[in-house]
């Protein structure tokens, strides 16, 4: 007899909210209010975290699983808490009930927790459109049979007197108002002592001044709030506002409402039968900070104008986040109010829009202070607090940022005045002064930020200087920003900046930028293009009699030719640079030339050349040790010197000496975070291990190299790594993997335009191989 199939159960919305509320209570009691991770929930329930996720996302679970979740948090699962996953009618009912109110179960639980702890007035604060009013109304409607609303007009001049509003609410409750305001308040208080009544004061900020206090004409709201906060009343009052209420005589509990999470947006779009392209929806959600109003507006436009295609909408509008007029009005209202109430805070907010918030996503306090060059220092922190109180800036501890929509509006205001030019220059100066040495990726990206700001305002010479500025670090006395980016594997960033600026500067600067651009393309495996840049740099240097730059160009061309296996051309370049090194006052040119010439001569070693090559190798090693002792090498020269000397010793079958150099190269590359040097050392080490017969070690090194190089998109080195992997697979007898690796190497070398490298690999391919 077949086993009886278990039917999946799904929590109803009421059941889900009950469970989430209880979880939240326990988080507040036992976890300092911090949210439990899915892993922690799994631990508490004794279930797999993925199973717990299914329960909370209403994906369908066994009844026993639902029961376990409820019991783990002191609840009893009842029949009306769930339904069968196959009950499409109930699911449809749930979606109709909740499709316009999504993702707020935790917020409802938070409000419940505050009330249970004795809160009488809760101020729900957030920027416009987050869903403050919707949340407040939903909570009060489900907790109270009677709800009194005290609406606040959008303009201060239109706000109704609190006296008249209290009289109106008393009549709604069947009570006569008193002749005086305080008597009316006393009658309202007695009513609230007897009955459970919810109170909503919506959109409070027009009644507040720039300090968060009630404006003079509406100071009597304070008296109403004193009544509503009295512990003897049975009421709960929710106040919604974009700005912080700061009346020291009142006891209120502040609740900062965050944007909806991506799951809520996903559910909302799904109920409206919109396409759910993950990347597009995630980008929309991030851009609008989970704003509930934006979710509704954008989804309507996608439905009406884009046939429900979310991805098409995002592609067309991602550069204009305020294209929808309702959204623009929502944001502009806050800016206009701030401009009127606090002009210096408004100035700070607009200037913050100049920061990019991309590679460096947050700003320190010092970064904000840098924007206040024309404002007294004793006001700086107060202005930041003013923006926080109005929910216009985001922060985490001492880090700050703007949501993309707020930034878009901020920068649009700034572009209209002269502040835009000055602000970008001040920001660029701040970023440059922030970094004294570049040792890791974070520091490199911060240093590069200056470039973007100078380039934005067409300060091209200063943008170029950012790239060429030299800083000392542990491994280099004077490493310019391009070399830092190269060392850390930030090749695309280097390429972007150099390509943008190279044609906007004079010829003397252009020489160096062209060389740096050529070096970038060499690392990316675009070697023919790299040679073109170096040839152009060489020609300009020759015309300007810039001998140092001329020799550097020759060296770089030689390095490129080496990777293409055009070794005779490469030898000519290095021999020429050796001759010119003293004239150019470029001693490092000797070092580079020696170890490349040693490698080239050792590559096709014969008995006739063995003695001469060994002498050259000894000279290369001696020169390397001399420069190393004086700490007079760049990180690139140090790392590549170890590799090429090591590989030259490999050709002489001095394998232990070769291993020593290559292992030192790996150690240095890891210390200095020189990713490409590490990868090159590892595929070189793979060759030595293979010669020694240590095939597992060889394959491990080759595969690790491939993994690193694929992230860098460094095609030429990646091709060599696949070639070394193929040779090791072949040696191990795994001919299928060997063939696959060789073909991959050929494809990459073909993209690099390296025919001699292709011929080298083809010797190990079985049968014909055509490049399409």
What pLDDT score was predicted for residue 772? 34
Of 278-287, 508-517, 591-600, 762-771, the range with the highest mean pLDDT is 508-517
Q: How do 399-401 and 363-364 pair as beta strands?
A: antiparallel
What pLDDT score was predicted for residue 123? 96
Closest C-alpha among 589, 591, 615, 587 to residue 601: 615
How crowded is residue 101: how many other Cβ atoms within 10 Å of its Cβ?
Answer: 18
Q: What is the CATH number of domain 106-256?
A: 3.40.50.300
Mean pLDDT of all residues in 549-554 = 95
Taking only the tens place, the pLDDT of each residue in 39-53 is: 889 999 999 988 888
414-418, Cβ contacts within 8 angstroms, sequence gap of 24 or more: 414/350, 414/351, 414/353, 414/354
- How far apart CA 538 and CA 518 sit, in angstroms, is 11
DSSP state of 503: G
What is the pLDDT confidence band of residue 62, given thresholds at 50, 70 and 90? confident
Contacts of 389 (CB under 8 A, 6+ apart): 212, 243, 244, 246
List of E strands, 319-459:
363-364, 394-396, 399-401
Mean pLDDT of all residues in 579-592 = 89
What is the pLDDT confidence band of residue 97, given thresholds at 50, 70 and 90? very low
What pLDDT score was predicted for residue 89? 52
- How far apart CA 211 and CA 345 sit, in angstroms, is 12
Taking only the tens place, the pLDDT of each residue in 604-632 is: 877 777 888 888 888 888 888 888 888 78
Closest C-alpha among 465, 593, 527 to residue 535: 527
**pLDDT at residue 90 is higher than 60:** no
What is the pLDDT confidence band of residue 95, given thresholds at 50, 70 and 90? very low
What pLDDT score was predicted for residue 5? 42
**pLDDT at residue 1 is higher than 70:** no
- Which ranges in 75-230 belong to alpha helices (H)? 88-98, 105-116, 132-143, 162-172, 181-194, 221-228
- How far apart CA 12 and CA 577 sit, in angstroms, is 78
- How far apart CA 228 and CA 245 sit, in angstroms, is 15
**pLDDT at residue 271 is higher than 80:** no
**Which CATH code, of 1.10.3720.10, 3.90.1150.10, 1.25.40.10, 1.20.58.1610, is assigned to 506-585?**
1.25.40.10
What pLDDT score was predicted for residue 770? 42
How crowded is residue 755: how many other Cβ atoms within 10 Å of its Cβ?
Answer: 13
Strand partners, 124: 240, 255
Closest C-alpha among 426, 505, 424, 425 to residue 467: 505
**pLDDT at residue 456 is higher than 50:** yes
**Residues counted in the chain:** 772
What is the pLDDT confidence band of residue 540, given thresholds at 50, 70 and 90? very high
In Å, how far are 393, 400, 644 from 673, measured between CA atoms? 35, 28, 19
Mean pLDDT of all residues in 730-745 = 94
**pLDDT at residue 220 is higher than 60:** yes
What pLDDT score was predicted for residue 375? 96
- How far apart CA 209 and CA 756 sit, in angstroms, is 76
Taking only the tens place, the pLDDT of each residue in 341-387 is: 999 999 999 999 999 999 999 999 999 999 999 999 999 999 999 99
What is the pLDDT confidence band of residue 752, given thresholds at 50, 70 and 90? very high
What pLDDT score was predicted for residue 3? 42
How many alpha carbons fall within 13 Å on the CB side of residue 372?
A: 21
**pLDDT at residue 597 is higher than 80:** yes
CATH 1.25.40.10, applies to 674-772: yes
Mean of all residue pLDDT scores within the chain: 89
- How far apart CA 311 and CA 301 sit, in angstroms, is 13
> Taking the alpha carbons of 177, 180, 185, 190 in that order, is the dihedral positive or negative?
negative
Taking only the tens place, the pLDDT of each residue in 619-677 is: 888 888 888 888 788 888 899 999 999 999 998 889 999 999 999 999 999 999 999 99
| pTM for this prediction | 0.79
What pLDDT score was predicted for residue 86? 64
Taking only the tens place, the pLDDT of each residue in 223-262 is: 999 999 999 999 999 999 999 999 999 999 999 999 998 8
What is the pLDDT confidence band of residue 33, given thresholds at 50, 70 and 90? confident
CATH class of 9-95: mainly alpha
Mean pLDDT of all residues in 62-70 = 91
Tell me if domain 106-256 and domain 674-772 are identical in fold.
Answer: no
Mean pLDDT is lowest, of 203-212, 385-394, 607-616, for: 607-616
693-702, Cβ contacts within 8 angstroms, sequence gap of 24 or more: 695/728, 695/731, 695/732, 698/724, 698/728, 698/731, 699/725, 699/728, 699/729, 699/732, 702/728
What is the pLDDT confidence band of residue 20, given thresholds at 50, 70 and 90? confident
What are the residue ranges spanned by the domains of the chain? 9-95, 106-256, 262-319, 418-504, 506-585, 601-665, 674-772
Q: What percent of the chain has pLDDT over 70?
A: 96
User: CB burial class (10 A; 0-12, 13-18, 19+) of residue 275?
Assistant: middle
């Amino acid at each position: 007899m077949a086993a009886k199939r278990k039917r999946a159960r799904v929590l109803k919305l009421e059941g889900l909210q009950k469970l989430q509320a209880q979880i939240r209570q326990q988080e507040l009691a036992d976890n300092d209010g911090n949210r439990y991770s899915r892993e922690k929930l799994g631990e508490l329930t004794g279930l797999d975290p993925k199973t717990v996720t299914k329960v909370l996302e209403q994906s369908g679970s066994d009844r026993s699983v639902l029961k376990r979740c409820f019991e783990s948090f002191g609840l009893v699962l009842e029949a009306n808490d769930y339904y069968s996953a196959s009950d499409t009618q109930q699911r449809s009912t749930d979606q109709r009930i909740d499709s316009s109110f999504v993702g707020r179960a935790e917020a409802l639980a938070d409000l419940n927790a505050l009330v249970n702890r004795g809160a009488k007035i809760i101020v729900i604060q957030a920027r416009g459109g987050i869903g403050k009013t919707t949340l407040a109304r939903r909570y009060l409607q489900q907790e109270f049979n009677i709800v009194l609303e005290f609406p606040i007009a959008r303009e201060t001049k239109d706000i109704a007197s609190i006296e008249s509003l209290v009289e109106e609410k008393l009549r709604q409750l069947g009570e006569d108002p008193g002749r005086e305001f305080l008597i009316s308040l006393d009658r309202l208080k007695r009513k609230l002592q007897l009955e459970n009544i919810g109170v909503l004061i919506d959109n409070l900020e027009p009644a507040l001044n720039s300090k968060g206090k009630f404006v003079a004409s509406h100071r009597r709201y304070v008296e109403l709030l004193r009544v509503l906060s009295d512990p003897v009343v049975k009421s709960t009052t929710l106040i919604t506002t974009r700005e912080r209420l700061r009346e020291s005589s009142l006891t209120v509990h502040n609740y900062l409402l965050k944007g909806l999470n991506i799951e809520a947006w996903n559910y909302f779009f799904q109920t409206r039968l919109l396409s759910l392209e993950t990347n597009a929806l995630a980008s929309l959600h991030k851009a609008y900070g989970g704003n509930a109003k934006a979710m509704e507006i954008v989804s309507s436009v996608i439905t009406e104008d884009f046939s429900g295609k979310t991805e098409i909408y995002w592609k067309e509008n991602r550069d204009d986040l305020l294209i929808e007029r309702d959204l623009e009005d929502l944001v502009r209202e806050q800016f206009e109010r701030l401009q009127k109430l606090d002009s210096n805070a408004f100035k700070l907010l607009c200037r913050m829009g100049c920061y990019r918030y991309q590679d460096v996503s947050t700003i320190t306090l010092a970064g904000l202070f840098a924007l206040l060059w024309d404002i007294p220092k004793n006001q700086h922190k107060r202005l930041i607090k003013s923006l926080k109180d109005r929910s216009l800036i985001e922060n985490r501890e001492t880090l700050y940022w703007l949501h993309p929509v707020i930034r878009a509006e901020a920068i649009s205001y700034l572009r209209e005045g002269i502040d835009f030019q000055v602000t970008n220059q001040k920001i660029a100066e701040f970023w440059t002064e922030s970094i004294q040495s570049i040792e890791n990726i974070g520091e490199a990206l911060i240093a590069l930020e200056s470039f973007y700001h100078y380039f934005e305002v067409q300060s091209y010479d200063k943008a170029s200087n950012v790239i060429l500025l030299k800083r000392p670090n542990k491994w280099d006395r004077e490493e310019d920003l391009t070399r830092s980016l190269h060392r850390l594997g930030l090749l695309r960033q280097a390429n972007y900046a150099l390509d943008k600026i190279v044609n906007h500067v004079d010829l003397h600067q252009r020489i160096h930028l062209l060389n740096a651009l050529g070096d970038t393309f060499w690392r990316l495996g675009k070697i023919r293009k790299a040679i073109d840049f170096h040839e152009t740099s060489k020609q300009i240097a020759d015309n300007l009699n810039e001998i140092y730059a001329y020799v550097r160009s020759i060296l770089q061309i030689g390095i490129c030719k080496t990777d293409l296996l055009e070794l005779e051309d490469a030898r000519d370049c290095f021999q020429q640079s050796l001759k010119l090194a003293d004239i150019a006052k470029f001693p490092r040119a000797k070092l580079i030339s020696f170890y490349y010439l040693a490698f080239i001569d050792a590559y096709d070693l014969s008995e006739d050349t063995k003695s001469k090559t060994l002498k050259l190798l000894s000279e290369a090693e001696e020169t390397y040790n001399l420069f190393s002792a004086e700490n007079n090498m760049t990180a690139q020269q140090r790392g590549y010197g170890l590799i090429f000397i090591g590989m030259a010793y490999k050709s002489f079958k001095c394998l232990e000496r070769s291993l020593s150099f290559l292992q030192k190269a790996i150690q240095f590359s890891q210390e200095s975070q020189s990713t490409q040097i590490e990868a090159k050392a590892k595929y070189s080490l793979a060759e030595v291990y293979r010669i020694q017969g240590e095939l597992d070690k060889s394959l491990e090194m080759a595969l690790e190299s491939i993994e690193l190089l694929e992230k860098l998109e460094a095609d030429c080195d990646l091709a060599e790594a696949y070639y070394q992997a193929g040779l090791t697979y072949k040696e191990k007898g795994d001919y299928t993997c060997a063939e696959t690796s060789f073909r991959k190497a050929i494809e990459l070398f073909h993209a690099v335009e390296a025919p001699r490298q292709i011929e080298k690999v083809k010797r190990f391919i079985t049968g014909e191989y055509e490049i399409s």
